[in-house]
Chains A and B, each alone.
Chain A
Amino acid sequence: MTFMAFRGSLELGIIYAIMALGVFLSFRTLNIPDLTVDGSFVLGAAVSAMMCTNGQPVEGIVVAFLAGCLAGCVTALLNTRLKIQPLLAGILVMLALYSVNLRVMDKRANIALMNKLSLFNVLPGISGDNAKTIIPSILLIGIVLLLFLFLKTRFGFVLRATGDNDHMVRALGVNTDFTTLIGLALANGLVALSGSLIAQYQSFADISMGVGMVIIGLASVIIGEVVFGAKSLLRRLIAVALGAMLYRFIIAFAFELGMPATDLKFISALIVALALSGPVVKDKVNKLGPVMKEKINKLQKKISTLRNHSGGHL
């Protein structure tokens, strides 16, 4: 792998890590597989691209985050108020966002941002290639810390408990609808933030750029947890971020080997399926141990009895 490919993958990984943290929030913390992500990622990109064309890249990122929060709120309200299954609620919002995103992008499917002001050339002091590594890194570290502190607050605990066992949380007199709302809003806000950065980083926003983001996010979360561990909360958050980077390196490596992109999707799906089935497989393997031992013991017994019968001639 060339240094350029390495650095490009690293930078992409850092930006996608923010999206992965959003997916972590909905999928792991709230225990909701939120499909809004495919739409809210593009929403963030669309908002930031439009504001970039107006010369407001920094504001664009803030507004993109807020727009993502709003999208998450809609999914949450569909789920909690109108009692639509979370999976379906996410799909509905994702579908609706397709039209919304086109409206945001002024009915164009693609916006190019070449030679426009962006987060990577507007700040004083850092610009050029270094800005593309440093700014996303600072943002990512900040978000990991903020998320950690947030999840450590009283409300954060309730949020995590909602995902673990919402019946119990409700029995304690907590309104889980509200925690779901905030959780999904924040999750999609982070996803949109990641999308807004990608648009400015790659200098374009495209209506189809969000396809498969959920799977990429899930794969990042799972790879991170499996490879880097999930013992404490902080470690988990860091693991998710590193997982997103590792995912990018896997993709870069696949390209390096000349693997066609059409096969990459299958491999992504395979990785997620394998990682999700991990606990079950582990369990089976663990159980396999005693069973084998028993079988071996039985065999040994049989042999020894045979030996006794044959009077030691065997």
Chain B
Amino acid sequence: MPIPATSSVTGPAEAGYDALVVVVRSPEDCSYPEVAATAAVDSGAGAKVSVMAASGVAGGRLVLTPTGPLTRDFGEPLPRPGAVLARCHGGAGQAA
């Protein structure tokens, strides 16, 4: 039952790693040009995990994973899992 070897590093291109996972509040939190390019063409980049090719980072692979705002008082107002499942089962709309 191994746990991966862990260590603390100080840069995005440390040897021995094959992907960079960037935890941000929103894409604007980091300065990678690939993230800015993705955010420019995908307005949803701040709300989902995005995998992109990137130079100068571990493995040439960058995974952007946003937390969303850390200051909001409430989360999503709709029952998101239900809405998603409804669509999966053929629902065209929803009512709450």
A and B associate in one complex? no
